[in-house]
Amino acid sequence: MPAIDVHNLTKVYPVAIKQPGLAGTLRHFFRRQYRQVKAVNDVSFSIGAGEVVGFLGPNGAGKTTTLKMLTGLIYPSSGQVSVAGHTPFQRQRSFLEQITLVMGQKQQLIWDLPTLDSLRINGAIYDLSAQELRDRIHELADMLDLTEKLTQPVRKLSLGERMKAEMLAALIHRPKVLFLDEPTLGLDVNAQMAVRKFLQIYNQRYQATIVLTSHYMADITALCDRVLLIYQGTLIYDGSLNNLVEQFAPYREVTAEFAQEVPAAALEPYGEIQSIDGCKVVLLVRREDLTKIVSQALAQLPVHDLTVTDPPIEDVIGKVFDAGIV
Ligand SMILES: Nc1ncnc2c1ncn2[C@@H]1O[C@H](COP(=O)(O)OP(=O)(O)OP(=O)(O)O)[C@@H](O)[C@H]1O
């Protein structure tokens, strides 16, 4: 049985339309008009237990709305959802004990209290014995390198420490399905890496299923083999990140440093010129022509150094969203 099974999921929000000014306010009061915003449109996918899936889309694409439906915070307008064998919006205790939702821009820890106190509250909510709670705090704090900070009021933690503490609190009941909405938002590179590493270990240790949204592609490339792309509420890609790159970036970047400057006209036959900076040139070369072009360049041009890389993944995803379809 898949951990998450979604069929034809749709969410339409009614949004009140209000004209400006006093007349608009009065009209709004007596005869309210609505327009329908289709935030999620006929989305279907299935995620197996233990998978880590990246859920990507531009702002307003419908990611958070989908996560809210998967965690039972809002009702779908139509379609079926099953998470850990439950219908999320019924919000049964046995469902809530198996999932967690972490939102990078929202916090559940109590601001003026030390993290430890919030963890005790969560322990009571999930009926953990004192020993279980101690063991889990010890294990997770150790994984997150947070033990020293647990007695400090949350408001005195750095952003990165706070996010780790949020993660600890969200996982104290050892959920099997994790929904993470921008868990590394605003963190510096080191803190992002620490959170990623932690998620990798948690996934492996508990075979947890993870659905992750992030605008940082490094999170996705480090954690997810599979990505779902959503655009204007519609799922436009479901598959491996590698296939996506191959499909949408049928070229590779060749960076060459020459012993002396080479005129642009002499470079044109080799590929599309991206930039020329003195003796350093970046070209885009189609994947199927790469071997031929590289050997020709080495034979015919004064090449000092040459490297071949994939284009940045952000650019590839950006292209997909610009095109709007796959
Ligand atoms: N409560 C709401 N009422 C009305 N419209 C909403 C509501 N919540 C979201 N929307 C609209 O639904 C669409 C999808 O929003 P959603 O927050 O799901 O996008 P998102 O992909 O998570 O975006 P972001 O990356 O910016 O967080 C947007 O057009 C948004 O304005």
What digits encode the pLDDT tens for the residues 108-152?
899 999 999 999 999 999 999 999 999 999 999 999 999 999 999
Q: Helical H runs in 97-129?
A: 115-125
Higher pLDDT, 170 or 19: 170
Pairing of strands 99-103, 177-181: parallel
Between 21-30, 102-111, 207-216, 222-231, the lowest mean confidence (pLDDT) is in: 21-30
CA–CA distance, 160 with 187 (Å, rounded to integer): 6
Q: Do domains 4-245 and 251-309 have the same CATH topology?
A: no
* Residue boundaries of the structural domains of the chain: 4-245, 251-309
Residue 228: count of CB within 10 angstroms of its CB? 23
Residue identifier of the C-alpha nearest atom 5 of ligand 1: 13
Mean pLDDT along residues 67-78? 96
| pLDDT > 90 fraction of the chain, expressed in percent and rounded | 70
Check residue 174 and give its pLDDT.
95
Residue 45: count of CB within 10 angstroms of its CB? 19
Could you tell me the fold of the domain covering 251-309? Alpha-Beta Plaits (3.30.70)
pLDDT bin (cut points 50, 70, 90) of residue 242 is confident
What digits encode the pLDDT tens for the residues 284-300?
998 889 999 999 999 99
CA–CA distance, 263 with 163 (Å, rounded to integer): 51
Residue identifier of the C-alpha nearest atom 16 of ligand 1: 62
**Rg of the chain's alpha carbons, rounded to an integer?**
25
Most confident of 28-32, 176-180, 305-309: 176-180
Q: How far is the CA of 181 from the centre of ligand 1 (A)?
A: 13
Check residue 132 and give its pLDDT.
95
Locate 209 and state its tokens.
């299923």
Q: How far is the CA of 69 from the centre of ligand 1 (A)?
A: 12
The binding-site residues of ligand 1, defined as CB within 6 angstroms of any ligand atom, are 13, 15, 37, 39, 57, 59-65
CA 159 vs CA 100, 102, 104, 156: distances in Å: 20, 15, 10, 9
Mean pLDDT along residues 91-102? 95
In the chain, what are the helix, strand and coil shares in percent, each to the nearest 5?
40, 30, 30
Check residue 18 and give its pLDDT.
78
Mean pLDDT along residues 26-35? 82
pLDDT at position 325 over 60:
no
pLDDT at position 326 over 60:
no
| pLDDT > 70 fraction of the chain, expressed in percent and rounded | 99
The whole-model pTM stands at 0.84
CA–CA distance, 138 with 182 (Å, rounded to integer): 25
What digits encode the pLDDT tens for the residues 172-192?
999 999 999 999 888 888 888
pLDDT at position 10 over 90:
yes
Of ligand 1's listed atoms, the one at least distance from the Cα of 11 is 12
Check residue 324 and give its pLDDT.
60
- Write the class of the CATH domain 4-245: alpha beta
Q: How far is the CA of 154 from the centre of ligand 1 (A)?
A: 29
Average pLDDT value over all residues in the chain? 91
Mean pLDDT along residues 197-207? 95
Check residue 221 and give its pLDDT.
87
Mean pLDDT along residues 245-267? 88
CA 121 vs CA 98, 105, 224, 234, 241: distances in Å: 18, 21, 32, 39, 39
Mean pLDDT along residues 49-69? 93
CA–CA distance, 321 with 326 (Å, rounded to integer): 9
In sequence order, what are the residues at sequence separation of 6 or more whose Cβ sits closer than 8 angstroms to the Cβ of residue 304? 257, 258, 259, 279
